[in-house]
Amino acid sequence: MKTLSENRAFGGVQGVYTHASEACGCDMTFGLFLPEEAERGAVPVIWYLSGLTCTHENAMVKAGAQKWAAEAGVALVFPDTSPRGAGVANDEAYDLGQGAGFYVNATEKPWAPHFRMWDYVTEELPRLLFNAFPVAEERQSIMGHSMGGHGALTIAMSFPGRFQSASAFAPIANPTASDWGRKQFSAYLGKDEAKWAQYDATLLMKKRGFDGPILIDQGGSDQFLDLLKPEALAEAMAARRQGGIFRMQKGYDHSYFFVSTFIEDHIGFHAAALYD
C-alpha cells in the first residue's frame, strides 16, 4: 500500500492510499478519514460508497462529512466505484464500465477479470483496512449515494451482524426493474435474471430485511426518480415492518448539494448506532 496524500482536517487526518488489488486485478485507490481519537485507539468506521461516474474523491471532497465524523469520533472510508486502468474493460457510455462497477461480481466477458467490486468492498478492502489502520472491525456502518446507495443497502442486507446501521441518499432502489440496473446487470451478469436478485435492495428487503436501523433520504425533485424507483423500496420496507426512516426531501435533486445538506443527519444516525 502507498500513501498518496495525508492532510490534517478537523483535528484528524484525511488520507488517500493506493494498493494492488487481487479482486480487481489492478491498482485501487481509496480515501480514509481518521478522527483525532484514532491516535489513541481503534475507532468505529462508516463506509461511504459513491455513485456513477464518481471516484473515491467525490464524496471525500464534496459531502462535507469529515466535520461531522470528527465531532462523532468515527472514521470514514471512501472506496473507488470500479477498477481502472489501461488493461481494464470500459465502455463509451457513462453508466457502464469504469466508474460504473455497480458493486457486483461480474461473470461475463469482458468484465469478469476486473469487475469484482462486491468482493473488493466486502472482503479485500476490509482486510487491508483493519490490518493497517486503527479502525474497529466490530463497529461498522455503511452508507452511499445513488449507485453507492444501491451498494450500501445490498451489502448491509447480505452480511447480517456486520453493520450496526445502513443509510442511503437517493439509492438505485430497484435495479432489476430499472434501466439503471437492467443494462448493467445484463452486461456484467448475463441474461439470467435470477442471478440479478442478490443485487437488488427492494428484493432483498422483501426477502430478508436488515437487522439494524435504516435511513433513506430521497430528493423530491430528483431528475432521476423514474430510474431510482424509491417507491418500490419504501413499499417493501413498510410491508416488512423494517425499522427505519424513509424521507422525501421536497425540492432537492440528485446532486452533492443534496447530500451535503443532510450528511450531518446520516453521520449522527450512524454514530448513535455505533456507540450504542
Spot the catalytic one: 114, 254, 266, 270.
254
What phi-psi label fits residue 263: left (phi over 0), alpha (psi between -120 and 50 degrees) or beta? alpha
Spot the catalytic one: 21, 50, 82, 146.
146
Locate 235 and state its grid cell. Answer: 413499499
Strands of 12-21's sheet, edge to edge? 2-9, 12-21, 26-34, 75-79, 43-49, 135-145, 163-169, 214-219, 244-249
254 is catalytic: yes
Secondary structure (3-state) at 242? coil
Spot the catalytic one: 80, 200, 217, 222.
222
Measured distance CA(135)–CA(46) in Å, rounded: 10
The residues, any chain, with a CB within 8 Å of residue 265's CB and separated by 6 or more, are 215, 217
222 is catalytic: yes
255 is catalytic: no
**Residue 44 host element (H or E):** strand 43-49
Secondary structure (3-state) at 266? helix
Q: What is the DSSP letter of 212?
A: S
Catalytic residues: 146, 222, 254
